[in-house]
Amino acid sequence: MVEKPSSGELFGVPYNFERPKLSRMLESYWQPGEGMLVEKPFGIGYTLNLANWRSWVVLAVAGVLLWQQQQSEDDEDDGAVEEAVEVVVDD
Tens digits of per-residue pLDDT, 49-77?
Answer: 999 999 999 999 999 999 999 988 877 76
Q: Could you give phi then psi for residue 82, rounded to 5 degrees? A: -85, 125
Tens digits of per-residue pLDDT, 13-34?
Answer: 999 988 888 988 888 899 999 9
Q: Is 86 exposed, middle or buried (0-12, 13-18, 19+ CB in 10 A)?
A: exposed
Query: What pLDDT is attached to residue 78?
Result: 59
* Residue 63 to residues 56, 68, 69, Cα–Cα distance (Å): 10, 9, 10
* CA angle centred on 19, ends 17 and 23, rounded to 5°: 115
Q: In angstroms, how far is CA 70 from the centroid of its own chain?
A: 17
Cβ-contact 29, 47 below 8 angstroms: yes
> Does the pLDDT of residue 79 top 60, yes or no?
no
